[in-house]
Amino acid sequence: MLSRTADNLYWLSRYMERADFLARIIDAAQRLATLPTAYGGTGSEWESTLNAAGALDGYREHVGAVNETSAIYYLAFDPQNSSSICNCLEYARTNARAVRTALTIEMWQSINGAWLEMKRFQAIFGKPGTIDRLELSRFLDFIRKASLDFDGSAERTMLRNDAHWFSRLGLYMERADTTARILDVKYNVLLPATEQVGGSLDYFQWTAILRAVSALTAYNWVYKETIKPWLVADLLILRPEMPRSLRSCYDDIARLLDNIGRAYGRPGPSQSKAHKTLRLLETINIEQIFETGLHEFLTEFIESNDALGAAIGGQYLIHVDEGTTETQAQSQA
């Protein structure tokens, strides 16, 4: 497979997963913002959401003061934000068009149909202003469904060959990154310094986070007790049966990279980095993570995940000049 084709498949899935994540955290922020102050409304929801999306600096540069309407527009529709939902879907379709013959009919139809529907929503939310909550709710539901349709078509119709491996590799790399970021932001931005861990505010925030990653039901099944921050962290970091956990993502990342390495006969730095992170997630426990600091652990994980992405790019994908990030290169797609 040409590196260009592998690159397109990899980033196609990353952008679809990123759009889904953004839709989920916007929905979670709305839930928190509508709560009375005594039960969870802190006024910091949108700043923390921008931070979790990695868009806070860009927002402040282009927009300024943080407020709900402007934050939603910037995260979902703003063309100046290269990682807005609409731009993610645009980039995903551009990558899909470039490798149309490597996709099944069902995969192409799911992403092309989503792109066409997105244009209708763009006409409704064409510029910053008052957000129609009903239409926004429909838009977020549509994005989540589009991501599920794309994932389902990929899992049900693709041959289990290198095209499938690179496509799924992009999905799990993005999912690991977003899970770690939303956990990190929760512990360091959402909870005010004056609020106790385990208080009423903490409970509602963690419930919103679990909903954002479709893990509330899973939490109840696994732990069968009230929501506790350390158990939420355990679920989203170390539980292999939780599809969005860091451990589950790296189980799949290591397996996919091993498949690619065997197929091309050139295992290298990406395989060794993936297995190093997987061994850590297999052997560490949640008590050890909290002893060293959850923020420190997640920061190190995010940096390690970024380094793995760079290694994958250098080993298999299009060459990226030193000093240029993967996202910067792909934003020009």
Asked if residue 319 has pLDDT above 50, the reply is no
Over the stretch 147-203, which tens digit does the pLDDT of each residue have?
Answer: 999 999 999 999 999 999 999 999 999 999 999 998 887 765 555 444 444 455 567
148, 149, 159, 163, 192 from 155: Cα distances, Å: 10, 10, 9, 12, 42
Domain that holds residue 166: 3-330
Asked if residue 8 has pLDDT above 50, the reply is yes
The average confidence (pLDDT) of the chain is 87
Dihedral sign of CA atoms 154, 155, 159, 163 in order = positive
Q: Helix 200-212 to helix 162-185 angle, to the nearest 10 degrees?
A: 170
Domain count, the chain: 1
Dihedral sign of CA atoms 272, 275, 279, 280 in order = positive
The token duo for 178 is: 């977003």
Asked if residue 48 has pLDDT above 70, the reply is yes
- The CA distance from 222 to 65, in Å, is 41
pLDDT at 193: 47
Task: Sort residue 43 into left (φ over 0), alpha (ψ -120 to 50) or beta.
Answer: left
Q: What's phi and psi for 28, nearest 5 deg?
A: -65, -40
